[in-house]
Chains A and B, each alone.
Chain A
């Protein structure tokens, strides 16, 4: 089963956990509806859409309200540190949480004490904390954008806001930035770098580049990185090989984006609605049928 951990932009939203269901443009968890917008709700909605399409049970969500002061995140960190030891998730995706190295470490230690370590994916604030903790190699997948990759590449930066000027975040420097991130052990086993061209990378170098279909407007749309993380997390949780899941997810996310005929004013819910069509198109494609996807052989 897939677990997804994150926050919602509502200070009154209590620490809530349970199975998540997508209905229209809302996700439901513990009897509460959360509008699907950017952030963890977008990740959850994308994962729900993929899992439903593939006939799997929906994800298990851990959500709490946090507007950036960190109180909600710390309640969630505490709960995870105390309770993850009794869970049996196949995959856990950590997302929008207030970056906190100490709490991150407590959660990671709880995960590492499990008899079978789940596949670990980190994005957004939790990925920042994972890098700063020095524990990045404990993760199976990070999903940074190019700016966040520059932060991973800068061994001194505690947050993307402080990435040093000589480390320029430009699309054409992705392989170089990833090498530097691996050199300082600041990257997960795999990096799926989101951008005008999506790159799947490991310590050896670039494994695959996904650049079609291409819609320039996608970069401006808040939540497109969240949906990519949600899609790859869901595919992994079905048992798909991580590298293949990452390449397929990048392709499906792009397809869904382009199917929504986006402009820079498009909202992420419109793209999430296209995920089933994008999955159908991808699964019917000759590349997928032949087991060869964007440079990654299954």
Chain B
């Protein structure tokens, strides 16, 4: 399970019918990523999920949050310069991101795949040697920024990416750091 599902604060009680949950809708995935970072830093029990079919605006990620905490959460976001397009109650099940990492040992190299994105690192030097997979336009840009950089010094894909492919690459990057860095 992804680390971003965990929270420092005790979670508010969760209703089985989902009536206590809301979603924050943003225009771009990069805003979702910034919001996730800020809210998790402050200990909010939030999850990044897929939008329900009835949400026609915004990007392909939403943040699920405890509805009762809406004002506090929106205030936190404002302090970060983030304004969601909408904050609405959840009325049905949300899409879940893929939860499976696939890891392949290629001798001197290690490849981690998250969803459709693959990241490969030289185990001896911890340098990122390749990025493959994906179909969104930020992938070639992210690859150009990451390849050739040490894993500890490379920019985080969640700070440069804007799409679901960028987000998937970020998950692969975090898993690779967990496996390769002390």
Contact = CB atoms under 8 A, between A and B. Distances in A.
A222 B130 contact: yes
Interface residues of A, number: 54
Given A37-B140, A125-B135, 14 more contacts: A9-B144, A37-B143, A37-B144, A38-B132, A38-B140, A68-B141, A69-B162, A72-B137, A162-B98, A165-B100, A217-B109, A222-B147, A265-B130, A266-B130
A161 B95 CA distance: 10
Contact of B140 (A96, A99, A159): A96
Contacts of B106: 216-217, 220, 264
A126 B134 CA distance: 11
B111 interface: yes
Interface of B: 28-30, 50, 60, 95-100, 104, 106, 108-109, 111, 113, 115-116, 118, 120, 122, 129-141, 143-144, 147, 161-168
B137 A161 contact: no
A80 interface: no
Nearest to A9: B141
Contact of A127 (B60, B135, B143): B135
B118 A67 contact: no
Given A9-B141, A220-B111, A165 B133 contact: no
B73 to A, nearest CB: 24
Nearest to B118: A220
Given A97-B137, A151-B116, A219-B118, A159 B131 contact: no
B137 to A, nearest CB: 4
Contact of A161 (B98, B108, B111, B122): B98
Contacts of B29: 68
Interface in A62-91: 66-70, 72-73
Nearest to A35: B144
Contacts of A266: 130
A44 to B, nearest CB: 12
A68 B161 contact: yes
A52 B109 CA distance: 35
A128 interface: yes
B171 to A, nearest CB: 9
A145 B140 contact: no
A8 B140 contact: yes
Contacts of B111: 219-220, 264
B109 A128 contact: no
B134 A265 contact: no
A163 B115 contact: yes
B95 A68 contact: no
A162 B51 CA distance: 11
Contacts of B133: 145, 147, 222, 225
Contacts of B161: 68
Contact of B60 (A7, A8, A159): A159
A262 to B, nearest CB: 10
Interface in A214-251: 216-217, 219-225
A23 interface: no
B50 A38 contact: no
Interface string A132-172: 00000000000001011001000011111111110010000
Contacts of A165: 96, 98-100
Nearest to B61: A161
A263 B144 CA distance: 18
Nearest to B127: A265
Contacts of A220: 106, 109, 111, 118, 120, 129-130, 132
